[in-house]
A and B are shown apart, each in its own frame.
Chain A
């Protein structure tokens, strides 16, 4: 139950990729022969497929190696291109590391980054945003769906405030693409990051939407060859692009029904595990993507909890980024006000197209048994130290 980390490549996606690995070897930039033109035609058709899924024009899509690169290109590219206008950037503490780290790097380079803290439900406070916006601000970066909690931000309202101040809005939509409808025009965003492997496509391919009207200027971060209109040099991975396009087509077909089905499964999962005391929902109860459920568990240690679940065959993700040597709890959950202990003892369940009611029921049983066993072992829970 870890579909938010990545998803298995769908069979139709694999079949779309294989010809470009076997007998269609052309470089999409080699237009002097048929193999190259064949590759270029597929790349452009694929660009159209992604653009159509998000309400963009094909020429507004730039291929990248993934959402991390797309986030880096958007943030560093805008910061540099508009540096003469201002050097303030704004983002949320709960963004993905691939947004936080480029911003921290820009901070070290002399840019001023205003870090906003969300409310206890994980949503951006509009008053905080409007207070932080200044004439010096060139970019605000806010993700559409949080990767840990599944919380969905009110992007149209954020876009209105950002554009009122004259800044641009970048949205990391890695967890949103194929999970909920996206229309870049309706959302009124200037830049949006995507990746394929969260929607049953291959790893290693992503894209950045860059608005053309009004035109968004961007400084390239990778040079050599001038591919992708000079914004992202590098030979295009045709098989991965073909796979990304097939994943977009699959998402367009399945998304409406899958969103309903997976929402019902998530609600069943929540009802099942929340019959235990001391299970706290992380993130807004309603403003959330279908497939992600994040809970904090009182009275148990995070490492022991994950071990107990894995032992019984339940693969879930930590709300925390922990390692054996340094157990760092989730910065996202701490930003929502969870204690270090609770942030550490947090579980992200994420459901996908192969999830079933039987699988959810089994997960409820494993979770309930594991938590109950660890609490019976715990002097803290016995004493009610974390009631």
Chain B
């Protein structure tokens, strides 16, 4: 048996194989966004459960569903883990390169990291003003 495609790091394969943050959230504090990138077929649904407002707002949990390739699923799982338990002000500055470096994603898969970051920004924007 040949090894898996060396284009991806072990971290990517581990998240693709067992994405711990895949799934759905329910409840009044849950924000849901669904995003797509024009350059790929991937579709990402990101859900955030945010408590508090202003500087004290905090992402309690994050979950995702993804239709896409290996990198899209791994990036979404990393993002959901990264934001969970963190202050909104801390995660809203997440850069695409930070995600790419964390997973050692190849440049040709930048769109996967971009999709995840765009979904986060959209979810945070939707959350603003709606969280008590």
Which residue, A344, A379, A381, has most C-beta atoms of chain B within 10 A?
A379
Question: Is the CB–CB distance between A304 and B68 below 8 Å?
Answer: yes
CB contacts (< 8 Å) of A324 on chain B: these are 5, 7, 106, 108
| Size range of the chain A interface in the assembly | 20 to 34
Question: Is the CB–CB distance between A379 and B66 below 8 Å?
Answer: yes
Q: B44's closest neighbor in chain A, by CB?
A: A379
Question: Is the CB–CB distance between A379 and B69 below 8 Å?
Answer: no
A300 to B108, alpha carbons, bound, how many Å?
A: 20
| Interface assignment of B25: CB less than 8 Å from any CB of chain A | no
Question: Is the CB–CB distance between B16 and A307 below 8 Å?
Answer: yes
Question: Is the CB–CB distance between A381 and B67 below 8 Å?
Answer: yes
Question: Is the CB–CB distance between B19 and A377 below 8 Å?
Answer: yes
Question: Is the CB–CB distance between A378 and B70 below 8 Å?
Answer: no
Q: B76's closest neighbor in chain A, by CB?
A: A377
Closest Cβ of chain A to B116, distance in Å, is 14
Q: Which of A264-322 contact B (CB under 8 A)?
A: 299-304, 307, 310-311, 313, 315
CB contacts (< 8 Å) of B1 on chain A: these are 313, 315
Would you call the interface of chain A mostly helix, strand, loop, or mixed? helix
| Interface assignment of A382: CB less than 8 Å from any CB of chain B | yes
CB contacts (< 8 Å) of A311 on chain B: these are 4, 13, 17
What count of chain B residues pass the 8 Å CB interface test? Answer: 25
Q: Report A138-178 CB contacts with B as 1/0, cut-off 8 Å.
A: 00000000000000000000000000000000000000000
Question: Is the CB–CB distance between B16 and A379 below 8 Å?
Answer: no
Q: Report B1-42 CB contacts with A as 1/0, cut-off 8 Å.
A: 100110100000100110100100000000000100000011
Question: Is the CB–CB distance between A300 and B4 below 8 Å?
Answer: no
B41, B66, B69: the one within 8 Å of A341 (CB):
B41
Q: B71's closest neighbor in chain A, by CB?
A: A303
Question: Is the CB–CB distance between A300 and B70 below 8 Å?
Answer: no
Closest Cβ of chain A to B7, distance in Å, is 5
Question: Is the CB–CB distance between B70 and A303 below 8 Å?
Answer: yes
CB contacts (< 8 Å) of A313 on chain B: these are 1
Q: A386's closest neighbor in chain B, by CB?
A: B67
| Interface assignment of A126: CB less than 8 Å from any CB of chain B | no
Closest Cβ of chain B to A379, distance in Å, is 4
| Interface assignment of A380: CB less than 8 Å from any CB of chain B | yes
Closest Cβ of chain A to B40, distance in Å, is 8
| Interface assignment of B49: CB less than 8 Å from any CB of chain A | no
Q: Report B66-82 CB contacts with A as 1/0, cut-off 8 Å.
A: 11111011000000000
Q: A326's closest neighbor in chain B, by CB?
A: B108
Question: Is the CB–CB distance between B69 and A301 below 8 Å?
Answer: yes
| Interface assignment of B127: CB less than 8 Å from any CB of chain A | no
| Interface assignment of A358: CB less than 8 Å from any CB of chain B | no
Closest Cβ of chain B to A107, distance in Å, is 31
Q: Which of A356-387 contact B (CB under 8 A)?
A: 376-382
| Interface assignment of A109: CB less than 8 Å from any CB of chain B | no
| Interface assignment of B113: CB less than 8 Å from any CB of chain A | no
Closest Cβ of chain B to A125, distance in Å, is 31
* Contacts A311-B17, A377-B19, A377-B73; A382 near B4 (Cβ below 8 A): no
B17, B19, B22, B68: the one within 8 Å of A301 (CB):
B68
CB contacts (< 8 Å) of B66 on chain A: these are 377-379
A302 to B70, alpha carbons, bound, how many Å?
A: 10
| Interface assignment of A325: CB less than 8 Å from any CB of chain B | yes
Which residue, B13, B19, B41, B43, has most C-beta atoms of chain A within 10 A?
B41
| Interface assignment of B58: CB less than 8 Å from any CB of chain A | no
| Interface assignment of B45: CB less than 8 Å from any CB of chain A | yes
Question: Is the CB–CB distance between A377 and B22 below 8 Å?
Answer: yes
Question: Is the CB–CB distance between B45 and A379 below 8 Å?
Answer: yes
Question: Is the CB–CB distance between B65 and A382 below 8 Å?
Answer: yes
Question: Is the CB–CB distance between B108 and A379 below 8 Å?
Answer: no
Question: Is the CB–CB distance between A307 and B45 below 8 Å?
Answer: no
A302 to B44, alpha carbons, bound, how many Å?
A: 16
CB contacts (< 8 Å) of A303 on chain B: these are 69-70
A307, A315, A325, A378: the one within 8 Å of B67 (CB):
A378
Q: Report A12-44 CB contacts with B as 1/0, cut-off 8 Å.
A: 000000000000000000000000000000000
Can you name 28 A-B pairs with beta carbons within 8 Å? A299-B67, A300-B67, A301-B41, A301-B42, A301-B67, A301-B69, A301-B72, A302-B69, A303-B70, A304-B16, A304-B68, A304-B70, A304-B72, A307-B69, A311-B13, A324-B7, A324-B106, A341-B41, A376-B22, A377-B22, A377-B73, A378-B65, A379-B34, A379-B44, A379-B65, A379-B66, A380-B43, A381-B67
- Given A301-B72, A377-B65, 6 further pairs, Cβ under 8 A: A303-B70, A304-B69, A307-B69, A307-B70, A315-B1, A324-B7
Binding site for A on B (CB under 8 A): 1, 4-5, 7, 13, 16-17, 19, 22, 34, 41-45, 65-70, 72-73, 106, 108
